[in-house]
């Protein structure tokens, strides 16, 4: 399998041998990548030996080296062509070791080229040839250490023959200089073996890190597959929920409208007085419960449309002051029934904004209803409308209710979330109001800010961005001045800074 093996095949090949497959694969690739270089080196050695040896011996040695190299390369190619799942590392290690042993013996034959077997003392010419043989040994050791360090048996059989041949040649010459060269040859060989072992340890450590990386990647892929499946199921469940709510909206509202209509008729005694006053009270309770249920259904459907991204804004130029003032008038009687005072603090000179009036009215009604619900009898509620530092606009609803601890901020902003103090002191609620308010404000590109202190009240502020403010064009008479836009007349700050804590509204 040229180019590498998949992780599962590599794992099989290394299960019993401790990265044996990877080590063999690295050796094989090294041999194949440098085959031309090694053959060129053999040609250079052969040509150089002709200066002190007959050319026939040099040519014969070159052909032996080429033949041995072909055997080794053929074995390497067969290894790569074998699928990784079918590789028996022990068997292939033996084959490659035998092929390398043949190659090592062929290179050791270079020592015998031009060898003087008569025992005559060497002259300068012989000294030069012996020095060249020593240099050749160093080169061959360095190359084999680089290529075969991953498999030490292969390194041994590829280098020991030539070192033994060089040492034997120097010992046969018997001169002190050659004895020193023989000792140096042994020392160089041992040093290269030491380097090869260090290189092998580094390679094994690299393989261990790669195995850890592969294991981590496999775990990440598994986790991603699980996550994708969970996301798919969640999306399917969310789509099923949306279809269910869309279908049930009509089925729930139709009978509920009939209940509200007939209970209203009975409560108002349109068709005549009820003989038993208890029935009238029951009719009023039915109408009140039905109204509460219809409000809950509408809130759930609104939240579902927002979460599904199907809530479309019907935008038009509106005045924020008018929207807040209308909401005040709608809930004024409710405030008076609890002897609560609503104070208006409006900037009447604010320009129009580009927004969905129905959505902003729903936001304001929810916030004001919460304030009325959580503010005790005789409390004060302040409605404010003004401009912000960045040229946008805001409106806020501040009450003197029980407030909420700061750690409950995330909870009250979630769907069906309620603060602990609100559950004890208020009239109850669904916990959807603030979640819907925040979603509608974010659809306008704005933000919702909650400021509260336990025992001092809550301030809920809606910020609308500058891009939604419509600046009127002012054209001068005949002076040719360019159109201009007025700056907001409100001071660019909010009035009542308070520590950021949550509100307990439902």
CATH architecture type of domain 315-468: 2-Layer Sandwich (3.30)
User: Inter-axis angle of helices 7-14 and 176-268, to 10 degrees?
Assistant: 130
What is the sign, positive or negative, of the torsion defined by CA atoms of 169, 174, 176, 179? positive
At which residue do the structure tokens 């798919």 appear?
232
Q: Give the start-to-end residue ranges of the domains of the chain.
A: 1-311, 315-468
Q: Is 462 helix (H, G, I), strand (E, B) or coil?
A: strand
Angle at alpha carbon of residue 457, lines to 452 and 463, rounded to 5°: 55
What is the predicted pLDDT for the residue at 417?
57
Contacts 24+ apart (CB under 8 A), 186-189: 188/137, 188/138, 188/141, 189/141, 189/159, 189/160, 189/163
Retrieve residue 374's tokens.
């959580």
Neighbouring-strand partners of residue 383: 344, 397
- Distance between CA atoms of residues 39 and 69, nearest Å: 8
- pLDDT, tens digit, 9 for 90 and up, residues 452-486: 888 788 889 999 999 999 876 554 444 444 444 44
- pLDDT, tens digit, 9 for 90 and up, residues 75-89: 989 988 888 888 888
Cα 58 versus chain centre, distance: 64
Retrieve residue 69's tokens.
């190299």
User: What's the pTM?
Assistant: 0.47
Q: Low-confidence residues of the chain, pLDDT below 50?
A: 1-17, 120-125, 426, 475-506
Angle at alpha carbon of residue 242, lines to 239 and 248, rounded to 5°: 140
- Distance between CA atoms of residues 158 and 192, nearest Å: 13
Q: Which of 494, 386, 400 is nearest to 453 (CA)?
A: 400
Q: Which distant-in-sequence residues (6+ apart) come within 8 Å of 255 by Cβ?
A: none
Q: How far apart are the first and last CA of the chain?
A: 66
- Which class for 437: exposed (0-12), middle (13-18), buried (19 or more C-beta within 10 A)? buried
- Which class for 179: exposed (0-12), middle (13-18), buried (19 or more C-beta within 10 A)? middle
Retrieve residue 128's tokens.
């030069």
What is the predicted pLDDT for the residue at 125?
44
């Amino acid at each position: 399998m040229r180019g590498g093996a998949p992780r599962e095949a590599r794992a099989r090949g290394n299960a019993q041998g401790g990265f044996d497959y990877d080590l063999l694969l690295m050796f094989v690739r090294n041999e194949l990548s440098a085959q031309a270089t090694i053959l060129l080196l053999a040609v250079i050695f052969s040509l150089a030996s002709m200066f002190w040896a007959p050319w026939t011996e040099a040519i014969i040695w070159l052909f032996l080296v080429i033949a041995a190299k072909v055997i080794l390369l053929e074995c390497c190619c067969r290894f790569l062509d074998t699928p990784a799942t079918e590789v028996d590392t022990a068997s292939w290690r033996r084959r490659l070791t035998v092929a390398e042993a043949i190659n090592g013996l062929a290179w050791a034959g270079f020592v015998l080229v031009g060898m003087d077997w008569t025992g005559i003392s060497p002259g300068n010419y012989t000294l030069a040839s012996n020095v060249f043989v020593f240099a050749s040994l160093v080169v061959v050791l360095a190359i084999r250490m680089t290529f075969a360090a991953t498999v030490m048996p292969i390194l041994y059989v590829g280098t020991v023959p030539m070192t033994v041949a060089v040492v034997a040649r120097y010992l046969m010459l018997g001169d002190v200089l050659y004895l020193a060269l023989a000792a140096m040859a042994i020392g160089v060989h041992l040093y290269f073996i030491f380097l090869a072992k260090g290189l092998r340890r580094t390679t094994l450590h690299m393989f261990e890190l790669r195995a850890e990386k592969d294991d981590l990647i496999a775990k990440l892929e598994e986790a991603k597959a699980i996550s994708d499946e969970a996301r798919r199921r969640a999306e399917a469940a969310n789509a099923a929920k949306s279809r269910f709510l869309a279908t049930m909206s009509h089925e729930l509202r139709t009978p509920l409208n009939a209940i509200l209509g007939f209970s209203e008729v009975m409560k108002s005694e349109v068709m005549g007085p009820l003989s038993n006053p208890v029935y009238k009270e029951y009719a009023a309770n039915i109408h009140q419960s039905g109204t509460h249920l219809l409000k809950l259904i509408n809130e759930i459907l609104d939240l579902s449309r927002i979460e599904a991204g199907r809530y479309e804004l019907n935008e038009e130029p509106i005045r924020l002051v008018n929207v807040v003032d209308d909401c005040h008038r709608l809930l004024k009687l409710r405030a008076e029934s609890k002897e609560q005072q609503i104070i208006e603090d409006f900037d009447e000179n604010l320009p129009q904004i580009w927004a969905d009036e129905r959505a902003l009215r729903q936001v304001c009604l929810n916030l004001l209803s919460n304030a009325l619900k959580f503010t005790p009898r005789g409390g004060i509620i302040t409605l404010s409308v003004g401009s912000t530092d960045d040229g946008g606009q805001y409106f806020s609803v501040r009450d003197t209710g029980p407030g909420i601890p700061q750690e409950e901020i995330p909870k009250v902003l979630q769907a069906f979330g309620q603060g602990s103090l609100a559950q004890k002191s208020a009239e109850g609620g669904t916990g959807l109001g603030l979640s819907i308010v925040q979603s509608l404000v974010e659809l306008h590109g704005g933000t919702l800010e909650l400021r509260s202190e336990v025992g001092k009240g809550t301030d809920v502020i809606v910020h609308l961005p500058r891009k939604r403010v419509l600046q009127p064009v002012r054209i001068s008479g005949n002076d040719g001045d360019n159109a201009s836009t007025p700056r907001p007349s409100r001071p660019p700050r909010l009035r009542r800074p308070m520590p950021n804590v949550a509100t307990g509204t439902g």
